């Protein structure tokens, strides 16, 4: 079973979806670590309730962002994490972190990448006037939401949609799509060939 670590900054609803799959025996791995840059994050409470080792890494405790990132990296390595899942982690991991970690890192983004990367993707979609949005699970590289795409699913944009209503409908899909992608990677069914991801 692959050892899975999760980093989250906020409420951790995608983390909860993964915990549910894990507790019900449907996750192709064990969640062994949950870390956060926000010691008040609900995600840490969810980890505690599930009996998962967890730790906060507040930026104020470190002299630099680099030192904070190194502390997170050291802890993940101590926990022998083999697959890192970002679940609403509001920090861009540096190239140095990714190079030293040397394991797959996954992220989920609330748009059909490469459209609308970065923050407020749902608002970007509404302001642009697209008829279809959705979510994307991708490998993390040194760019912003630019890594090879594993899975995507479309969500229609309705004429009456607000940022909140669109976000909520996309989030429902995220909670299903992210565990599916984690399972594919953890069970060795994903092969990267440059930008192209093949699923067996």
CA distance 12 to 76: 18
Which residues, in sequence order, are bridge partners of residue 135?
A: 153
Determine the Cα–Cα distance for residues 97 and 81; give it in Å rounded to an integer.
14
Report strand pairing: 54-56 vs 83-86.
unpaired
Catalytic residue among 54, 109, 138, 175: 109
Name residue, tokens 């192709």.
28
DSSP string for 85-123: EESS--SPPPHHHHHHH-S-EEEEESS-TTSS-SS-HHH
Is 109 part of the annotated catalytic residue set? yes
Instruction: Tell me whether residue 53 is exposed, middle or buried, using C-beta atoms within 10 angstroms of its C-beta: 0 to 12, 13 to 18, 19 or more.
Output: middle
> Three-state DSSP class for 29?
strand
Catalytic residues: 109
């Amino acid at each position: 079973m692959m050892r899975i670590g999760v980093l989250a900054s906020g409420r951790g609803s995608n983390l909860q979806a993964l915990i549910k799959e894990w507790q019900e025996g449907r996750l192709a791995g064990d969640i062994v670590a949950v870390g956060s840059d926000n010691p008040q994050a609900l995600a840490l409470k969810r980890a505690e309730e599930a009996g998962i080792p967890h730790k906060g890494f507040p930026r104020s405790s470190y002299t630099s962002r680099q030192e904070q990132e190194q502390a997170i990296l050291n802890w993940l390595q101590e926990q022998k994490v083999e697959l890192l899942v970002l679940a609403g982690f509001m920090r861009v991991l540096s190239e140095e972190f990714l190079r030293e970690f040397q394991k797959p890192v996954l992220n989920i983004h609330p748009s059909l990448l490469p459209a609308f990367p970065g923050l407020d993707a749902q608002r970007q979609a509404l302001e642009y006037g697209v008829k279809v949005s959705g979510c994307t699970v991708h490998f993390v590289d040194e760019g912003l939401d630019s890594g090879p795409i594993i899975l995507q699913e479309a969500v229609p944009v309705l004429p009456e949609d607000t940022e909140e209503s669109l976000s909520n409908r996309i989030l429902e899909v995220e909670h299903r799509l992210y565990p599916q992608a984690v399972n594919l990677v953890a069970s060795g069914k994903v092969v990267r060939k440059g930008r192209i991801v093949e699923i067996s």
